[in-house]
Chain A
Amino acid sequence: MRPFTYTRPGTLAEAIGAGRRGGRYVAGGTTLVDLMREGVEHPGELVDLSGLGMRGVRPVRGGGLRIGALARMADVASSPFVTTAYPVVSQALESSASAQLRNMATIGGNLMQRPRCAYFRDVSAPCNRRDPGSGCAAIGGENRTHAILGASDRCVATHPSDLAVALLPSTRWCTSSVRTDGASSPSPTSCSRRVRTRTGNTTSGPASSSPPSSSPHLAGPCVPDTSRCATGRASSSR
Chain B
Amino acid sequence: METRPPRSRLTRRTFIAAASTTGTVVVAGAPGPTASGEEPARPPGPAAARGDGTTGRVTFTLNGRRTSLVVDNRTSLLDLLRERLDLTGTKKGCDAGACGACTVHVDGRRVNACLTLAVRLEGAEVTTIEGLARHGGLHPLQRAFVEQDALQCGFCTPGQIMSGVACIHEGHARSPDEIREWMSGNICRCGCYVNIVRAIGQAARGR
Contacts and interface: CB of A to CB of B under 8 A. Distances in A.
By secondary structure, the A interface counts as mixed
Interface string A86-126: 00000000000111110110000000000000000000000
B95 A100 contact: no
Contacts, number: 86
A3 B2 CA distance: 12
Nearest to B104: A100
Contacts of B186: 98
Interface of B: 1, 47, 50, 52-54, 56, 72-74, 76, 95-97, 100, 103, 109-112, 115-117, 119-120, 122, 163, 166-167, 170, 172, 182-186
B163 A99 contact: yes
B120 A34 contact: no
B185 A104 contact: no
Contact of B166 (A6, A34, A97, A99): A99
B54 A3 contact: yes
A122 to B, nearest CB: 14
A1 interface: yes
A30 interface: yes
Most interface-central of A5, A8, A97, A103 (chain B CB within 10 A): A103
Interface residues of A, number: 25
Contacts of A37: 95-96
B110 A100 contact: yes
A101 B76 CA distance: 15
Given A4-B73, A33-B76, A100 B103 contact: yes
A207 B163 CA distance: 33
What 9 pairs across the A-B complex have the smallest Cβ distances?
A98-B185, A3-B54, A5-B53, A103-B109, A1-B74, A6-B73, A100-B185, A33-B115, A100-B112
A191 interface: no
B185 A97 contact: yes
A145 B82 CA distance: 37
Nearest to A6: B73
B111 A3 contact: no
Contacts of A36: 74
